[in-house]
Amino acid sequence: MSLDPVAYLPYQDPDDFIREVTDLIWVDRSISFIRENYEPDSIVHGAYGTSTTRQEVIEGTLMRISATPDRTGQAEDVIWEARGDDAFLSSHLVLSGHLQTSSHSRTIANCLYRKGRMVEEWVVRDSLAGALESGLDLDELARAQAFRGYTGSWTEPAPSDPIAKGDSGVRPDDYRSEVETVIDMIQTVWNERDLQKVEKFFHRDLVLLTVGNRVVIRPEGYRRALLRFLESFPGGQFEIRDIQTNYDVRYAGLRVAVTWKFVGDYNGVPNYGSLTGKPVDVLGISQFTFHQGALVKEVRLWDDIALRAQIAGLRGDEPAAFSNIY
């Protein structure tokens, strides 16, 4: 599918567009540029719910920059794919941290731009990494946050055929074999719990980067990381909400990004405090890298502090007296 330059001007391509616009807002602190970059009724699905106005984006960006003034970020990957001839969906993996320390965390922002303007976004941050590094009480931090809930497309049924059309619209039929592999893996390993099949899809020397700055290696490590999450929500299921692919040698070749929703009752192992028996609604994004037909890497993010906040709200916990943003 050819992409009209109107989708990314004045930059040379969507990759350059995303890198430069993100730096302008988050590194150069030109928060006012959001007014030019986002539509007035732009929709952002974040870990704490959905916002539906540009002003909410401006206020949220200001508060986050103010809370972490000594941190900066840079692009680690940009997986973009056309959505028609005047739009693209990007999956921007950002590595952020202090310039002279080893402290860092990751964010993935999936952004739908049409004619150079943001219309809808899905974003997840590894807030757990900063909280663990600072030694904060995770449950107290979560109680200081308000889970607002989701509206719009995130509340609608999952796309019936995400290869053809996701939440962001109709997608090109690129790299079908690899996309089918990822979908098969999610259904077989994540949803059907056939953990033995990890070796069917992944290279032996796989790497998983996930929340809390955890680095997981080998199929057995992958299995244990998945079990660690699922044990609290043993009946939960992953829905595929969107897919995009991109081949670029700068980012190790072919990558596939998947926006997913996890829904499951909190009735298993009480890793998030006392059980509620009520369902959680988790926004997550994974970026997969292929090598010689097999998956060799996954970056899997969701906001674990927001998940705790959602559970605390369902439990009716009293709000904490302070708030921190990571």
Q: What is the pLDDT of residue 98?
A: 80
Q: 8-17, 97-106, 184-193, 247-256 — which is least confidently predicted?
A: 97-106
Q: What is the pLDDT of residue 68?
A: 84
Q: 22-26, 56-60, 159-163, 322-326 — which is least confidently predicted?
A: 322-326
User: Encoding tokens for residue 127?
Assistant: 């807030």
Per DSSP, 126 falls in state -
pTM for the complete prediction? 0.95
Quick check: 137 pLDDT over 90?
Answer: yes
Q: What is the pLDDT of residue 1?
A: 58
Who contacts 299 (Cβ-Cβ below 8 Å, separation ≥6)? 77, 93, 106, 108, 208, 209, 210, 286, 287
Query: What ranges in the chain are assigned the alpha helix state H?
Result: 14-22, 34-37, 54-67, 127-134, 138-143, 176-185, 198-201, 218-230, 304-315
Tracing tokens 């039929």 back to the chain, one arrives at: 173
Quick check: 9 pLDDT over 80?
Answer: yes
Quick check: 322 pLDDT over 50?
Answer: no
Closest CA to 124 of 199, 210, 208: 210
Q: What would the DSSP string read from start to end of 43-85?
A: EEEETTEEE-SHHHHHHHHHHHHHH-TT-EEEEEEEEEEESSS
Instruction: Give the residue-averaged pLDDT of 28-41.
Output: 96
Instruction: Give the residue-averaged pLDDT of 72-101.
Output: 92
Instruction: Give the residue-averaged pLDDT of 272-277.
Output: 96
Q: What is the pLDDT of residue 325?
A: 45
Instruction: Give the residue-averaged pLDDT of 261-278.
Output: 97
Closest CA to 241 of 53, 110, 147, 149: 110
Q: What is the pLDDT of residue 240?
A: 98
Per DSSP, 101 falls in state S
Q: What is the rounded average pLDDT for all residues in the chain?
A: 94
Q: How far apart are CA 227 and CA 234, in angstroms?
A: 9
Quick check: 324 pLDDT over 60?
Answer: no
Q: What is the pLDDT of residue 69?
A: 86
Where is pLDDT greater, at 115 or 70? Answer: 115
